[in-house]
Structure 1
């Protein structure tokens, strides 16, 4: 038996702050990349995925970088522009699986934006169970977040197939005994699912 466990960002819905900040910086790629590397950084965003409220993170970052206040606020106020659409081919596979069997998810997501994403993309409401990093104050690839899923829903690790765009997150799943598929953008997921025993 195989049990599908999906990541969400860049597997089911497209996420990239560049969708927003190309507009904010009027196409100035160099300035945009500097800002994302030095102000609204990956590590700063990860703390919101870990459960720190958006309002707190935005306020503290503006205190450190007041000259970028409006650009920092955009990360919160215009977040939906970073998530322009679903990844339709993968959502179609998810829909096929949902019609036949329980499907689960583990996602690094802030509390606030997870609520927004579920409203915008109703398919995210249909999982049998979801582990959201902000709710647990754990982020992938910490093995503990995968263990939360396995223990909460009483799933055998060896029957779970985790699908994620991040190699580190895939290795995190494998470290707790789950099978896993690395699914970067543009990856043809259907054959990989079939190889794991799913009828898609």
Structure 2
């Protein structure tokens, strides 16, 4: 049976509810179809992930405005109104985190794709971000999941052995990358499912 000594949490989508739709549904007056089109066509996830890897928000915004000048006002909303994309904590997972910390047998850290410019906003809002032994923020490292470098940084910084570590992320791509490096993974769906998934690694809450 696998002996887990370290648990690595993703943040957005696992512990923190973050969704650009919170801003753009309002901007497009509740039009879900237009919101989806805008986020699939203009402010796409690949563009945002570039900022997660350290590209400056202002430069990224100006680049996109130059490409789609007719959508300038909406493009500038993405980072201009970014704080309103934070929907709150995912309370069920925060409870699981608290329970794991109470057991006092695991090293618990976080690995997140997040711009170094916006992460301080989350730090001020969410007290539980202070509970981790440490957090690797992609924007600070100038690389991001699923690239090998950020996993290597995490393992080395916190003296983690991949074979005794478990990574929890809502993005399957990131889990597969972790597994390729020998890190065990759980593809997060919801807190209730996570409790059962942890049991498969002999982690009972």
Deviation at residue 58 of structure 1 after TM alignment: 1.1
Give 1:172's aligned residue: 177
With over 3 angstroms needed to count, the CA separation of the structure-2 counterparts of 1:144 and 1:85, relative to structure 1, is same
| Residues 26-175 of structure 1: pairs in structure 2 closer than 5 A | 26-99=29-102, 100=104, 101-175=106-180
Deviation at residue 186 of structure 1 after TM alignment: 6.3
Deviation at residue 185 of structure 1 after TM alignment: 4.4
SS in 2 for 1:111: coil
Unmatched 5+ stretches in structure 2 = none
Q: How far apart, CA to CA, are the structure 2 residues paired with 1:172 and 1:157?
A: 12
SS in 2 for 1:184: coil
With 91-100 and 172-181 compared, the bigger mean Cα shift is at 91-100
Deviation at residue 195 of structure 1 after TM alignment: 2.3
Give 1:5's aligned residue: 8
Q: How far apart, CA to CA, are the structure 2 residues paired with 1:46 and 1:40?
A: 10
Unmatched 5+ stretches in structure 1 = none
Q: Residues 173-195 of structure 1: CA distance to partner in whole angstroms, max 9, x if unpaired?
A: 10111111011246521121232
SS in 2 for 1:162: strand
**Aligned match of 1:189 in 190, 194, 199?**
194
TM-score, with normalisation over the residues of structure 1? 0.94
> RMSD value over aligned CA atoms?
1.4
TM-score, with normalisation over the residues of structure 2? 0.92
Is the contact between residue 93 and residue 191 of structure 2 (CA under 8 Å) also seen in structure 1? Answer: no
Give 2:26's aligned residue: 23
With over 3 angstroms needed to count, the CA separation of the structure-2 counterparts of 1:188 and 1:82, relative to structure 1, is same
Aligned residues: 200
Q: How far apart, CA to CA, are the structure 2 residues paired with 1:191 and 1:30?
A: 35
Structure 1 runs (4+) deviating above 3 angstroms are none
